[in-house]
Structure 1
């Protein structure tokens, strides 16, 4: 049974947080020369802060960047949560014993964990003088973020922070290999076929934008066709997920519909408008629970989504 999310507050916070990648100004990251024996290295982050990075940080907080840490065989000292216990379930094989910290990083909570490095995934997190406060606690590095910044960009930058550039490149290459193999294996099940992704929570539907999160994966990486409704939603999108009405969904011209279902008992599923969506009528509705990776970004999230698509379309 999939988990049923009933908290409107938690869902609203999650919608907002999933779209934080749209905030902030990306910057360039540069190394300064340092000997291998030095205890720290100077790196310039996305906001042009010169940050003294420990050569071997071992008490890292990287809220909402845990996917990248796990991909690079790093374990944070605390992991992201929003609301009452909403965590990135798909990472829990590696993070099961890691305590949680609120997504907005309250100073007192950060202090409690005595970090030796803070990685910040959104410029919005350090607005209003917050950067200076965090920097008093530990070296604070803002990872490039915002429009046009891909998970590969963030992975490679975080790889640089941990002196693991080669491992980051290998993770990226492994993903490219998976995409190539998936396109070969699925063949005509992708070519000329359209798909859309919906998230249903609290009896409301949200559609992923064409060039964000699982939208980028479906259309940019795998090559599915983009439905007209998705194009319309994407034109106005300011975050990964945008609200969409049931009336609009009844006109959704997608061959496949991938559903992230956070509300098993949603009344909308019994509505004739829902039941008449072409993909639903044609039994091409493929459902995943909120514990899967479909709401998230990062190399592990994308890899698991591709694996899910392979499983349901093979």
Structure 2
């Protein structure tokens, strides 16, 4: 009888232990499901399953959003030796890759995730070609052109939605602070932005790059010259030198690489030298054009900083 009781007690203990182990296994499986290592997202090409936390990311010309969210690409966009100069402090040592992601170069980088800014950006191969290398996400056409949407979507792709919201919130605070500083320093005086490349000149209207924020969000006064420009087109058309002679802005930011022919042309042009800003020595030459001519939260932040620094001296 004593032996029988001992055997029954031992069997009960084993069953209890087995039940607990079974429950532990079920709990562990549940945790793995909740903390899945992959996510499936809708994108321009349908659905794509991507790693939850990819380490090696290729996102040509989207590096601004990547870096703003604390990520570094495995290789950076380039055309020949041309890169995004304003991001080089953060991209120091990051190898270059052709702007159109040549297939062989892409394979060499061994990416875990590839991101294209639009279907039209797939220039060097089909979507299936890239998808065979690594999970490939493609922005809807036009989405990445809106820098806020680009950043928000990048937060979704990288599972960093809260970080993206915080970056945008911090940027909005920067805008408010800068707006207050400029109101105090220049009041309602007008500001214009001109980019020169080669011998051509481009005037920023209120839809172009950082000028859109300065004019529309910070209420920087536009000169009458800009109000009289033709309706903005997708293609940015140059302005003739004779037309620039009508520029009535109080302050002009003249943007171009050092040694750019256009800078020398304006320096020697009596038409330009007779404009209000030139006469009052309020033309400011900016020899760092890269952040002025791209849309991105880091680029726009640098533009705002430069404008405030220049106009509040």
Asked whether the two chains share a fold, i.e. TM above 0.5, the reply is yes
Once residues 120 and 66 of structure 2 are traced to their aligned partners in structure 1, the CA distance between those partners, rounded to angstroms, is: 21
Q: Output aligned runs, 1:1-314, within 5 Å.
A: 35-45=33-43, 47-82=44-79, 84-126=80-122, 130-146=126-142, 150-189=146-185, 191-233=187-229, 235-239=231-235, 241-264=236-259, 266=261, 267-269=264-266, 270-290=268-288, 292-314=290-312
* 279 and 148 in structure 1: CA distance in 2 versus 1, 3 angstrom threshold: farther
Deviation at 1:201, TM superposition (A): 1.4
Instruction: Give unmatched runs, 5+ long, in structure 1.
Output: 1-33
**What is the TM-score with the length of structure 1 in the denominator?**
0.81
Does the Cα contact within 8 Å between 2:197 and 2:260 map onto a contact in 1? no
Does the Cα contact within 8 Å between 2:143 and 2:150 map onto a contact in 1? no
After superposition, the C-alpha distances for 1:190-230 in whole angstroms (9 at most, x for unaligned) are 54332221111112112223213122122112112333443
Deviation at 1:128, TM superposition (A): 9.3
Once residues 180 and 74 of structure 1 are traced to their aligned partners in structure 2, the CA distance between those partners, rounded to angstroms, is: 27
Once residues 145 and 290 of structure 1 are traced to their aligned partners in structure 2, the CA distance between those partners, rounded to angstroms, is: 29
Q: Which residue in 1 is equivalent to 2:8?
A: none
Does the Cα contact within 8 Å between 2:120 and 2:141 map onto a contact in 1? no
* Relative contact order higher in (CA < 8 Å, ≥ 6 apart): 1
Once residues 209 and 144 of structure 1 are traced to their aligned partners in structure 2, the CA distance between those partners, rounded to angstroms, is: 26
Once residues 233 and 294 of structure 2 are traced to their aligned partners in structure 1, the CA distance between those partners, rounded to angstroms, is: 17
Instruction: Give unmatched runs, 5+ long, in structure 2.
Output: 1-31
**What is the TM-score with the length of structure 2 in the denominator?**
0.81
Larger Rg over CA atoms: 2
Once residues 299 and 275 of structure 1 are traced to their aligned partners in structure 2, the CA distance between those partners, rounded to angstroms, is: 34
Does the Cα contact within 8 Å between 1:159 and 1:167 map onto a contact in 2? yes
Once residues 188 and 197 of structure 2 are traced to their aligned partners in structure 1, the CA distance between those partners, rounded to angstroms, is: 30
Query: May I ask how many residue pairs the two structures share in their alignment?
Result: 278
Once residues 155 and 201 of structure 1 are traced to their aligned partners in structure 2, the CA distance between those partners, rounded to angstroms, is: 28
